[in-house]
């Protein structure tokens, strides 16, 4: 039988909008993933409609993100950012908005639902039952994994989320994992059926994140031309562990006081999650460690500016306690800047240890300082990794991600069509 093509996908992103600036609030790698994959799917002829919660009264009901990609803002709760713990109370209102939107059109408007994060998966579950279409779900982060790798002072994810994730895993027609390691976690921790799990690596925008002159980038950003620049990019919260970088930098200066003259630590991002409780954390920590003069805090930046920060850096540091993939690491390598990252989660895939960067076990600042110090004393090592980093990142393009997603979608639709036939027989 000839496969019916997937013409239109309903993408569910309840808790964060693809239009939000990554790096603050709840906006991060997932936002980048949804935006970039939607654009590439549209280029392949698939219309994508992204359902998200309206966080301002003046947002238009429908906005065009790119040709073939619409963002639908649904009213669900107050017009403001809500903590993720408050969002389950808005599930009914959000589901109602999704179902009412589909009801305005002829039956069969959407061929498939792709939900992102567990709250969206709950919405997708109900829409799937109502519309009779397959549900593809991407976790991005998982409560059981996060609870196994908690940062100091971080709170475990609630049992309600664990149960919600288990329900989504049981009803989804396909589960998209960012890496083989994440696929194993789905099967081992959530008892996911192996036949329904597909590995699709995220990508990187290789037209934006590409090598360029370090000196030109530093001039634009106001950085000293001879500085040794350590870069952190991401949301400021315990999970991302920017404190590990600051403590390691303080140790480096203590071990070699001459470094103070040229060491610069740049953190690009804003408070998020538990980090909102203490937005001055990095400022306070830098003062406590005596390195305030070395630390530069920068608000979240659009992609073009972010690429300059990567080019300006000697090394990008990703000390997260857990990452489902680690797009920051991939973006940095695409710009030719090697990465030092924690040996956790998807970072083991995003960074090729000893080739495009270095993976560090644990979060001991002393060990991180030792590894970073090696880049100072052996600049040739950085140059060697820089060349390999570009080649490693080049293998991850969003076009490949979209093509693989198309295969997953086609399989989900084909399986759904077979199920009633098998039942009748």
Q: What residue numbers does the annotated binding site cover?
A: 15, 21-22, 26-31, 84, 117, 141, 161, 235, 240, 310-311, 313, 323, 331, 337
Distance CA 253, CA 256 (A): 5
Binding site membership for 1D-myo-inositol 3-phosphate: which residues? 15, 26-31, 84, 117, 141, 161
Distance CA 73, CA 60 (A): 7
Binding site membership for Mg(2+): which residues? 310-311, 313, 337
Residue 262 CB coordination number (10 Å): 13
Nearest CA-CA partner of 381 in 290, 315, 289: 315
Q: How many Cα atoms occupy the beta-carbon half-sphere of 207 within 13 Å?
A: 3
> DSSP of 277-304, one letter per residue?
G-TTHHHHHHHHHT-GGGEEEE----HH
Tokens coding 316: 């990008």
Angle 241-149-205 (CA atoms, 0-180°, nearest 5)?
A: 60
Burial class (CB in 10 A: 0-12, 13-18, 19+), 150: middle
Buried b (16+ CB within 10 A) or exposed e, 285-313: bbeebebeebbbbbebbeeeebbbbbbbb
Distance CA 303, CA 31 (A): 13
Nearest CA-CA partner of 253 in 225, 216, 292: 292
Q: Can you name the residues that pair with 267 across neighbouring β-strands?
A: 232, 297
Helix (H) or strand (E) holding 71: strand 69-74
Tokens coding 400: 């490949």
Distance CA 284, CA 181 (A): 36
Binding site membership for UDP-N-acetyl-alpha-D-glucosamine: which residues? 21-22, 29, 235, 240, 323, 331
Pairs from 82-87 (Cβ < 8 Å, separation ≥ 24) = 82/53, 84/15, 84/26, 84/119, 84/273, 85/158, 87/14, 87/15, 87/53, 87/119
Tokens coding 177: 């994992």
3-state secondary structure of 18: coil
What is the 8-class DSSP label of residue 353? B
């Amino acid at each position: 039988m000839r496969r019916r093509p997937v013409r239109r996908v309903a993408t569910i992103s309840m808790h964060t909008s693809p239009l939000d600036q990554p790096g603050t609030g709840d906006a991060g790698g997932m936002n980048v993933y949804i935006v970039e994959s939607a654009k590439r799917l549209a280029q392949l002829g698939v219309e994508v409609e992204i359902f998200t919660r309206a966080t301002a009264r003046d947002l238009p009901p429908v906005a065009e993100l790119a040709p073939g990609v619409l963002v639908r803002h649904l009213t669900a709760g107050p017009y403001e950012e809500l903590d993720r713990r408050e969002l389950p109370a808005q599930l009914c209102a959000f589901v109602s908005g999704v179902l009412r939107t589909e009801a305005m059109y002829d039956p069969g408007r959407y061929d498939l639902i792709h939900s992102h994060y567990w709250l969206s998966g709950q919405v997708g579950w109900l829409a799937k039952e109502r519309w009779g279409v397959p549900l593809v779900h991407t976790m991005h982060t998982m409560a059981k994994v996060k609870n196994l790798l908690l940062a100091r002072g971080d709170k475990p994810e609630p049992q309600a989320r664990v149960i919600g994730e288990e329900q989504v895993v049981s009803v989804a027609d396909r589960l998209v994992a960012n890496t083989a390691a994440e696929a194993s976690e789905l099967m081992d921790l959530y008892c996911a059926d192996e036949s329904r799990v597909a590995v699709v690596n995220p990508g990187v925008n290789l037209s934006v994140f590409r090598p360029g002159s370090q000196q030109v980038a530093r001039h634009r950003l106001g950085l000293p031309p001879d500085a040794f620049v350590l870069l952190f990019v991401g949301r400021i919260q315990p999970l991302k562990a920017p404190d590990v970088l600051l403590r390691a930098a303080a140790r480096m200066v203590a071990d070699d006081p001459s470094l103070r003259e040229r060491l610069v630590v740049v953190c690009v991002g804003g408070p998020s999650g538990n980090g909102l409780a203490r937005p001055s954390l990095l400022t306070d920590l830098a003062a406590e460690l005596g390195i305030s003069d070395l630390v530069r805090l920068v608000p979240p930046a659009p992609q073009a500016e972010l690429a300059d920060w990567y080019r300006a850096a000697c090394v990008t540091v990703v000390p997260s306690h857990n990452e489902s993939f680690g797009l920051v690491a991939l973006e940095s390598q695409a710009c030719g800047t090697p990465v030092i990252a924690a040996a956790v989660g998807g970072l083991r895939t995003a960074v090729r240890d000893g080739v495009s960067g270095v993976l560090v076990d644990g979060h001991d600042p002393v060990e991180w300082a030792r590894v970073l110090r090696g880049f100072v004393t052996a600049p040739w090592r950085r140059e060697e990794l820089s060349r390999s980093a570009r080649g490693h990142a080049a293998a991850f393009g969003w076009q490949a991600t979209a093509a693989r997603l198309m295969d997953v979608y086609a399989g989900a639709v084909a399986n759904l069509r077979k199920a009633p036939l098998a039942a009748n027989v």
